[in-house]
Amino acid sequence: MASNPQLDLFVIGAGSGGVRAARMAAQRGAKVAVAEIGALGGTCVNLGCIPKKLYSYAAHYAEAFEESQGYGWKLAPALFDWELLKTNRAREIERLNAVYETVLRAHDVTLLRSRARLVGPNEVEVDGVHWRARHILVATGGHPLMPPVPGGELAVSSNAMFDLPTFPQRLVVVGAGYIACEMASIFRGLGAQVTQLVRGKQILRGFDDDVAAFLAVEMRKKGVDIRLGTQVERLAAAGDGVRVTLNDGHTLDADTVLYATGRGPNTAGLGLQELGVELGPLGEVIVDADYRSSVPSIHALGDVTDRLQLTPVALAEAMVLVDRLFGDATRRLDYDYIPTAVFTHPSVGTVGWTEAQARERFGGVRTYLSEFRSLKHTLSGIDERTLMKLVVDNASQRVVGVHMVGAEAGEIVQGFAVALKAGATKAVFDATVGIHPTSAEEFVTMRDSAMA
């Protein structure tokens, strides 16, 4: 087989983390190649964050048209065009794909549009050509896990939801996590009849209990039929749709059944096990604090390591890794107080510890909770409420959790994430003057706490 001169870094996967690592390494003078068999940008750009947020924007308009009437607007009935939304989304994603390619080529990164496989601690094979590299980075991301139930092949994953051939008038969503909740909200907003089936006692496991319970109430107000303690027994074809049989014997008929019950790392077929790279129970690459696998020349970051499956985390990990391999190794990533958002309707923003986590970690805590109807909805006629919650460590008086359900929650919580990262105490929050009238000011005006 043919071989090429040695590289400094070979990256497998051109998602957010892989591209960031390749670009930064090349900027530092490293000779870099990237292999990617799919569209550039990975899950976030093509099948995750970006199209999801675009569709979330689209889904808000029906309610916005309704809200506008309370403010004096009179509109003709609006019609939604699924094909036009898909076309416009595809055009934007293609633009972003081109941006990623331009970034790589502008930094003299060799881009290989084919599948890669490790054949040695410092060797990768692509289309019969062997590439040698001092360091190899696995940044191949993850994929949706599909159901092990009879008829499961009739369901679709979140990957398919952005480009369904026809808009599903009846959608069944199976799952309780953020992807399931987001898709349920989005398609309900676009006009579908949505039933969400949740195996456990609440949605959004791992989020603050008050947040999860409050969001379920708000989603139900908007028409999402959330059924807790419900499992699917089997799926079967029924005309042009799917019949869902539940564990209580009842059935649901749907045009589309979405399974959003978890994701797994993309490690199959990479040759990792043959080289002795340690993998976890889901197939994730086990890495140390420096993103080094059990084979020292092979590194991994992002979703393939199954830590925090967030695009900004993969980007930050890439910068830390490149700094260690090709810099002064001073950069570190602290996984505490990483903010995140859930683009449901209404949305969720959160940073820091949930109340349950904080009690376990710090012992005594004090919580501050506020629920209200935002000023906007005093005239909109929409029965939507907002929840805000602070969690404070009694010993240090530091605010260790900020949680919100409401409009623009992610935009608001991002700023408060800086305060938590800086170690702000409740006294600092109290001394901060709010911007009036906004929802965000509630975070600096809460004075009455629950019992410690």
Active-site positions read: 436
d(CA 44, CA 40): 10
Nearest residue to 142 (alpha-carbon basis) of 286, 262, 275: 262
d(CA 96, CA 117): 26
d(CA 4, CA 110): 12
Query: Letter for the amino acid at 237?
Result: A
Q: Where are the alpha helices (DSSP H) in 173-208?
A: 178-189
Q: Where are the alpha helices (DSSP H) in 11-126?
A: 16-27, 42-47, 49-68, 82-106
d(CA 324, CA 332): 9
d(CA 76, CA 324): 59
What do you get for the CA distance between the two ends of the chain, in Å?
68
d(CA 354, CA 300): 29
Pull the structure tokens for residue 292: 């080094």
d(CA 82, CA 90): 12
Q: Which DSSP symbol is given to 15? A: B
Burial zone of 385 (CB within 10 Å; 0-12 exposed, 13-18 middle, 19+ buried): middle
